[in-house]
Amino acid sequence: MATQQKTTTKDLVFTALFAALTYVGTSIRVPMPAAIGNPFVHLGNSVLLLAVLLIGYKRGALAGGIGFAIFDVFNGFAVEAPYFFFESLIVGGAAALVWRSLKEKPDSLKKLFIVALSAAGAKLIMTFLKGIGTNLIIGTSLTVAVTASTASLYVTVINCITTIIIVSLTYFPLKKSLSAIYSR
């Protein structure tokens, strides 16, 4: 029989903190032209990945999903909030699976890069599929949907590269700081 983990006040505080940081990170945005939607470069994906790596998949993906959903609701994208909540679970899940395969110890930049790359790959696939689905819903042919989705992926590529760089630079110092806080 599996034992249940006790949720502590620190767990709740860090989940809420990462949700707020995801919201703030997504609010720091640079709009980009694209064939589909109103994409923008932002830091929210970096916070999501850091949350998953630092406080665990369940709490981290939940925090990222809540942060993205709150951002969407307050910024005119409410219809997209459920999708981005779901996407947080998928992207965070991809990172968590690779992290587990590395024995949950991204103790080197190389391992951390592999984890970040897996999250970036999941994000690219999710964005591509969402773009195709969005275009098919509005009545375009599959060929047009695939072409338009592909043409809009450059923004996601920029977000993914930004995420890999930011996570690579901040994960180890943040892990050290959080370890000190959690050990109290």
CB 139 within 8 A of CB 18: no
149 within a domain of the structure (yes/no): no
CATH number for the domain harbouring residue 98: 1.10.1760.20
Structure tokens at 3: 């034992």
Q: Residue 30 forms beta bridges with which residues?
A: 41
In the structure, how many helices (H) and strands (E) does the chain have? 6, 2
Give, in degrees to the nearest 5, the angle at Cα 77 between 72 and 79. Answer: 105
Structure tokens at 147: 């072409």
136 within a domain of the structure (yes/no): no
90 within a domain of the structure (yes/no): yes
77 within a domain of the structure (yes/no): yes
Q: What is the CA radius of gyration of the chain?
A: 17
Q: What is the pLDDT of residues 110-148, one digit of tens each?
A: 899 999 999 999 999 999 999 999 999 999 999 999 999
* DSSP annotation of 76: T
125 within a domain of the structure (yes/no): no
pLDDT of 33 reads 82
pTM recorded for the entire structure:
0.90
User: Containing domain of residue 38, as a range?
Assistant: 9-119+157-182
133 within a domain of the structure (yes/no): no
pLDDT bin (cut points 50, 70, 90) of residue 32 is: confident
Q: Which amino acid is at 29?
A: R
2 within a domain of the structure (yes/no): no
Number of domains in the chain: 1
113 within a domain of the structure (yes/no): yes
* Chain-centre distance for alpha carbon 70: 14
